[in-house]
Amino acid sequence: MKVNCNLKELINGLNVVSKASVGKTTMPILEGVLIEAYQGNVKLITNDLEIGCEHTFSCDIKSEGKTVVDIKMLNEIVRKIEDENVEIEVEDNIFTLKSINGTFKLATMNPNDFPKLPVFTVENSVVLSQKVFKDMIKKTIFSVSSDENRPIYNGALVQVEDNVLKVVTVDGFRLSLRKHLNENNINNFKAIIPGKVLSEILKILTDDEEYTIKIGVNRNQVLFEMGQSVIVSRIIEGDFLNYHSIIPEHCETKIKVKTKNLMDSFERVALFAKENKEKDKKSPVRMSVGIDGIILSCVSETGDAKEIINAEVEGKDIEIGFNPRYVIEALKAIDDQEVYVELNSSISPVLIKPIINNDFIYVVLPIKLKQ
C-alpha cells in the first residue's frame, strides 16, 4: 500500500474514528485503526464491539492495500507534523509515514483479524439537518442516567410519531424532551440509543444547515450517516419510561421569568450548597414563590445566601427545594430570553419550558425541604 494524502484530511478522519477506539484491552487489534486504500479513497475504520466508526476521504493512491496500526500513536504523530501532505507506505509489515523532514515507522497488525462493522438492513430512517440534530442532543444529553443498574436510562429515546422526531432522556430525577417537526412523511419508529454514542456524534456534527444526517434503525442496531462519516451502534433493549405520564398537564402556580436572571441567580446561590460527596448531592436551593416574585436561598455550613428575582407569578404561593445543578443545566439549554416555570406543590414534578419555542420541555423532581 502506498498513498499520498492531505494531512488535514487524515487528522480529521482520525479524529472522527477515534470515538470508537478503546484503551487497554485483551484484544490489541481493537486499539488500532483499519486503513484501507482502494479506488482513489482511503477509509479509516475503528470498532470497539459496541460502536463502529468509518470515515472516507479521497487520496492519491499509488498502490492499493490495507493495514492496521495503533490509532493513539498515529494520532500523536500526525498532530505534530505541519506539512500539507504526507506519504504513507506499508511494506514488510511496517507502516511508514513520511513528511518533508521526518520518517515515522510503526508496527502493523493483521487487517484480516480486525472485526468488520456490522452490515444490516435499515428498516426505518429519518434525514434532517445536522444543526438541528446537534441541538436536539445538546438539549437532552445532560439528562442521560449514569446508573449502570438501570441501563435502559443510559440511553436516549429517539422516536418518530406523526412526522415529529423526539429525543427524550431521563435519569430518575429529571426528564428532557426536544422535538422537531420533519417536513417529509416518515414512518413511526423508536429506538433507545446509548448516551455514549450521542455524546460522540455531538462532537462530529456541524452547525452548517446545509449538511444533513441520516438516522437508520432496525430492531437491534442504529446507523448514523454524516457526509463522509458513518457510525454504527447497538440499540439498548427494553421498554423506556412512559414519559407522557410524568409531564404535568396543568399547574397551580405559573412563573414567567427571564432565563438568564434565573440561571445566574441559581448559580450564585448554589455556591453555598454543601457538597455531600458520599451521596453526590448538594444542599437544596430553596425557592419561595409569591406575588412579588421569587426568592432563592441556601443555608449550609459554608454560609448562607439569599436573592430576589423579579418575575410574573400567577396562582398560589409555594415553597420548594431543588438540586441547583438540575435547574441550571436545563436553563443553559434554553435559548429563549424568558421561560415558564410551572408548579403544583412542593413535592410534585416541576415543568420548565421556553415561552416562544415549544420544541423543548424539561421536568425536574423537587427535593423535600426540612422545616
In this structure, the answer to whether residues 284 and 334 fall within a common structural domain is yes
35: Cα within 13 Å, side-chain hemisphere: 26
What pLDDT is attached to residue 209?
85
Indicate whether 255 belongs to any domain. yes
- Is residue 302 within 8 Å of 334, Cβ to Cβ? no
Distance CA 141, CA 128 (A): 18
Model confidence at 280: pLDDT above 80: no
Model confidence at 276: pLDDT above 60: no
In this structure, the answer to whether residues 257 and 196 fall within a common structural domain is no
When pLDDT is cut at 50, 70 and 90, the band that residue 277 belongs to is very low
Q: Work out the mean pLDDT of the chain and round it to a whole number.
A: 92
pLDDT tens-digit map of 151-161: 999 999 999 99
Model confidence at 334: pLDDT above 60: yes
When pLDDT is cut at 50, 70 and 90, the band that residue 25 belongs to is low
Indicate whether 370 belongs to any domain. no
Indicate whether 118 belongs to any domain. no
- Is residue 233 within 8 Å of 311, Cβ to Cβ? no
High-pLDDT (> 90) share of the chain, %:
82
What pLDDT is attached to residue 184?
82
pLDDT tens-digit map of 73-87: 999 999 999 899 999
Q: What is the mean pLDDT of residues 176-194?
A: 93
What pLDDT is attached to residue 119?
85
Q: What is the mean pLDDT of residues 211-226?
A: 94
In this structure, the answer to whether residues 207 and 252 fall within a common structural domain is no
Return the CATH number at 186. 3.10.150.10
Tally of domains within the chain? 3
- Is residue 54 within 8 Å of 44, Cβ to Cβ? yes
Indicate whether 119 belongs to any domain. no
In this structure, the answer to whether residues 239 and 251 fall within a common structural domain is no
CA distances from 162 to 62, 128, 179, 185 (A): 51, 15, 12, 8
Model confidence at 183: pLDDT above 70: yes
Question: What residues pair up with 305 in beta bridges, in sequence order?
Answer: 298
Indicate whether 17 belongs to any domain. yes
Question: What range does the domain containing 37 cover?
Answer: 2-113
Indicate whether 337 belongs to any domain. yes
Asked which of 205, 228, 244 is the last residue of a domain, the reply is: 244
- Is residue 150 within 8 Å of 178, Cβ to Cβ? no
Q: Which cell numbers hold the place of 335?
A: 435559548
In this structure, the answer to whether residues 195 and 130 fall within a common structural domain is yes
Q: What is the mean pLDDT of residues 299-326?
A: 94
Model confidence at 45: pLDDT above 90: yes
241: Cα within 13 Å, side-chain hemisphere: 25
In this structure, the answer to whether residues 133 and 107 fall within a common structural domain is no
How many other β-carbons are positioned within 10 Å of the β-carbon of residue 221? 18
Burial of 96 (0-12, 13-18, 19+ CB in 10 A): middle
High-pLDDT (> 70) share of the chain, %:
95
Q: What is the mean pLDDT of residues 11-15?
A: 94
Indicate whether 371 belongs to any domain. no
pLDDT tens-digit map of 186-209: 999 999 999 999 999 998 999 988
When pLDDT is cut at 50, 70 and 90, the band that residue 21 belongs to is low
When pLDDT is cut at 50, 70 and 90, the band that residue 275 belongs to is low
- Is residue 195 within 8 Å of 222, Cβ to Cβ? no
Angle at 328 between CA 326 and CA 334, to 5 degrees: 110
In this structure, the answer to whether residues 108 and 128 fall within a common structural domain is no
In this structure, the answer to whether residues 7 and 92 fall within a common structural domain is yes
Distance linking the first and last C-alpha atoms of the chain: 73
Nearest to 198 by CA among 25, 51, 368: 51
Interhelix angle 195-204/130-138, nearest 10 degrees: 130
In this structure, the answer to whether residues 100 and 190 fall within a common structural domain is no
In this structure, the answer to whether residues 193 and 301 fall within a common structural domain is no
In this structure, the answer to whether residues 291 and 314 fall within a common structural domain is yes
Asked which of 225, 244, 263 is the last residue of a domain, the reply is: 244
Q: What is the mean pLDDT of residues 290-297?
A: 94
In this structure, the answer to whether residues 167 and 197 fall within a common structural domain is yes
CA distances from 131 to 28, 42, 134, 204, 207 (A): 36, 27, 5, 11, 4
Backbone angles phi, psi at 62, to 5 degrees: -80, -40
What pLDDT is attached to residue 20?
67
SS (H, E, C) the chain: CEEEEEHHHHHHHHHHHHHHCCCCCCCHHHHEEEEEEECCEEEEEEECCCEEEEEEEECEEEECEEEEEEHHHHHHHHCCCCCCEEEEEEECCEEEEECCCCEEEEECECHHHCCCCCCCCCCEEEEEEHHHHHHHHHCCHHHCCCCCCCHHHHEEEEEEECCEEEEEEECCCEEEEEEEECCCCCCCEEEEEEHHHHHHHHHHCCCCCCCEEEEEECCCEEEEEECCEEEEEECCCCCCCCHHHHCCCCCCEEEEEEHHHHHHHHHHHHCCCCEECCCCEECCEEEEEECCEEEEEEEECCEEEEEEECCEEEECCEEEEECHHHHHHHHHCCCCCEEEEEECCCCCCEEEEECCCCCEEEEECCECCCC
What pLDDT is attached to residue 22?
57
The single-letter code of the amino acid at 187 is: N
Asked which of 220, 244, 268 is the last residue of a domain, the reply is: 244
Indicate whether 319 belongs to any domain. yes
pLDDT tens-digit map of 90-139: 999 999 999 998 999 999 999 999 998 888 899 999 999 999 999 999 99
